[in-house]
């Protein structure tokens, strides 16, 4: 099947997806701006966990930067009017957001795993500088893997419309684009299995050690809630797209001439992006559950407005900073 043989504007996507993406943008922007304000103005000491959360927030800002152009394009009936270079850059930014968000959510979960299951492991003594080096390596790997999106033509002409897509039908792809396709699956399944393993081990540790009462029990249970929240956000945001993508691969392989089935799956895959982009609006929940510094700053900022009083389990700012990132002992 030629790459262009099953290309067509996606009318259903152009109708359904724009309002969904607008809502996600309006929810994600203030949530992440608030997170930026809290981490910049209320952070008294950098910890490894905080470094990972800040990098997760940076990934969300990448999505928020790239989303308006996609919304505009869909409102035009999926007609891309911004040229080839901006098409590549826009899809690169959106894809890097997905990869970086998955990476840092996984790292936050693994960090919690070590603090509960292996409280004396050297990983729990990682400094903010060392965590920054880990974060830098993650960004370098993510950008390197997604570079093919900048070096391949992603504009497709269909009648009098220009379509900007990083996925197309057919198998005549460059090695770089094959890497992009493969990584779309790998970066979901490996972290997902790791998240399930970490969640299972933490729950088993909680039961075996009887850590269900007192301060230590509350700390461990909080770690369980953080990990379960990450698994829930991860599954909700990324599983629909991967499931539809795998179905599309099977259809393209078994019935390569069934253009109608491919077009339907292509529309469903595009609609699944609504779930993918939702991660920028849900990630502030992860900040709130993962960081006492964030909770203290959020409570202080909201209470300062004076409309109502917010109580998120205040423990005192100084005490929160000291206990931030400390493993249960």
> What are φ and ψ of residue 242, in 5° steps?
-65, -40
CA distance linking residue 227 with residue 232, whole number of Å: 9
Nearest to 50 by CA among 316, 292, 314: 292
Sign of CA dihedral 45, 279, 19, 270: positive
CA distance linking residue 260 with residue 266, whole number of Å: 10
Query: Cα 29 vs. chain centroid, distance in angstroms?
Result: 14
**What is this structure's pTM?**
0.84
Asked whether residue 324 carries a pLDDT value surpassing 80, the answer given is no
Asked whether residue 274 carries a pLDDT value surpassing 60, the answer given is yes
Would you state the structure tokens that stand for residue 194, as one six-digit string? Answer: 């790791």
Side-chain-facing half-sphere of 34: CA atoms under 13 Å: 23
Assign 205 a pLDDT band (cuts: 50, 70, 90).
confident
CATH superfamily of 11-239+270-290: Rhodopsin 7-helix transmembrane proteins (1.20.1070.10)
Q: To the nearest whole number, what is the mean pLDDT of the chain?
A: 82
Assign 266 a pLDDT band (cuts: 50, 70, 90).
confident
Beta bridge partners of 162: 157
User: pLDDT value at position 311?
Assistant: 64
User: What would the mean pLDDT of 51-74 be, rounded to a whole number?
Assistant: 92
Per-residue pLDDT reduced to its tens digit, 216-254: 566 677 778 888 899 999 999 999 999 999 998 888 788
Domain limits of the chain?
A: 11-239+270-290
> What are φ and ψ of residue 208, in 5° steps?
-65, -40
Q: What DSSP string describes 202-258? A: HHHHHHHTT--SHHHHHHHHHHHHHHHHHHHHHHHHHHHHHHHHHHHHHHHHH-TT-
Which has the minimum average pLDDT: 191-195, 275-279, 314-318?
314-318
In terms of average pLDDT, the best of 68-77, 148-157, 164-173 is 68-77
CA distance linking residue 289 with residue 227, whole number of Å: 9
Asked whether residue 212 carries a pLDDT value surpassing 60, the answer given is no
Per-residue pLDDT reduced to its tens digit, 102-155: 999 999 999 988 988 888 888 888 999 999 999 999 999 999 988 888 888 888
């Amino acid at each position: 099947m030629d790459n262009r043989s099953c290309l067509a504007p996606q009318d259903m996507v152009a109708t359904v997806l724009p309002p969904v993406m607008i809502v996600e943008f309006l929810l994600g922007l203030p949530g992440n701006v608030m997170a930026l304000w809290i981490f910049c103005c209320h952070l008294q000491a950098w910890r490894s966990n905080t470094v990972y959360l800040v990098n997760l927030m940076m990934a969300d800002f990448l999505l928020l930067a790239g989303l308006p152009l996609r919304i505009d394009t869909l409102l035009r009936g999926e007609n891309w009017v911004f040229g080839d270079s901006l098409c590549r850059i826009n899809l690169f930014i959106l894809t890097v957001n997905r990869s970086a968000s998955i990476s840092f959510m996984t790292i936050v979960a693994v960090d919690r795993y070590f603090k509960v299951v292996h409280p004396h492991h050297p990983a729990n003594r990682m400094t903010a500088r060392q965590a920054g080096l880990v974060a830098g390596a993650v960004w370098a790997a993510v950008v390197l893997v997604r570079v093919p999106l900048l070096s391949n033509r992603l504009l497709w002409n269909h009648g009098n419309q220009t379509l900007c897509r990083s996925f197309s039908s057919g198998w005549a792809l460059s090695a770089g684009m094959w890497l992009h396709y493969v990584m779309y699956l790998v970066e979901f399944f490996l972290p997902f299995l790791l998240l399930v393993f970490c969640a299972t081990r933490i729950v088993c540790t909680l039961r075996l050690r009887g850590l269900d009462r007192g301060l230590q029990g509350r700390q461990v249970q909080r770690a369980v809630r953080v990990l379960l929240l990450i698994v829930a956000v991860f599954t909700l945001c990324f599983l629909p797209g991967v499931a539809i993508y795998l179905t599309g691969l099977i259809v393209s392989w078994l019935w390569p001439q069934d253009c109608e089935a491919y077009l339907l799956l292509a529309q469903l895959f595009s609609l699944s992006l609504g779930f993918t982009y939702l991660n920028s609006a849900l990630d502030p929940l992860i900040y709130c559950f993962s960081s006492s510094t964030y909770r203290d700053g959020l409570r202080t900022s909201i209470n300062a407005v004076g409309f109502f009083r917010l109580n998120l389990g205040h423990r005192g700012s100084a005490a929160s900073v000291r206990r931030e990132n400390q493993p249960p002992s």
